[in-house]
C-alpha cells in the first residue's frame, strides 16, 4: 500500500463521500434518539426477553451504520 497515494485520496473524502457519511451519522443519531426511552427503562429494571431483543436490534443497527461509514471510507481510499 502506497501511503502517499492514500494520503492523496483523503482529499477525495470531502467531495465524494461527505454527504453519504453525514447521512449515515444522521441515521445513527436518529436511532439513538428514538432508543432513549427503551435504554432508560432498561437502566431502571432488568430487561425482559422482548426488551433484550429490541436492544439487540438497536445495537445491530448502530454497528451497521458504523460499518457503512468504514466501508465508504475504505472504498474511497482503495484500501485492500
pLDDT tens readout for residues 11-33? 656 677 889 999 999 999 999 99
The pLDDT tens digits for 21-79 are 999 999 999 999 999 999 999 999 999 999 999 999 999 999 999 999 999 988 888 76
Give me the torsion for CA of 68, 70, 74, 77, rounded to 10°.
120
Does the residue 36 lie in any domain?
Answer: yes
Range of the domain at 48: 15-77
Residue 38 resides in a domain: yes
The answer to whether residues 6 and 79 touch, using CB atoms and an 8 Å cutoff, is yes
Q: What is the CA radius of gyration of the chain?
A: 17
- Whether residue 1 is contained in a domain is answered as no
What total of structural domains would you count in the chain? 1
Domain membership flag for residue 25: yes
Q: DSSP code of 47?
A: -
The closest of 66, 75, 61 to 21, measured between CA atoms, is: 66
Q: Does the residue 8 lie in any domain?
A: no
Amino acid at each position: 500500500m502506497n501511503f502517499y497515494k492514500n494520503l492523496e485520496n483523503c482529499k477525495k473524502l470531502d467531495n465524494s463521500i461527505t454527504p453519504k457519511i453525514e447521512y449515515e451519522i444522521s441515521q445513527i443519531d436518529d436511532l439513538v434518539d428514538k432508543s432513549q426511552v427503551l435504554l432508560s427503562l432498561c437502566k431502571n429494571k432488568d430487561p425482559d426477553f422482548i426488551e433484550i431483543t429490541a436492544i439487540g436490534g438497536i445495537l445491530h443497527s448502530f454497528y451497521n451504520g458504523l460499518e457503512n461509514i468504514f466501508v465508504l471510507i475504505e472504498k474511497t481510499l482503495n484500501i485492500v
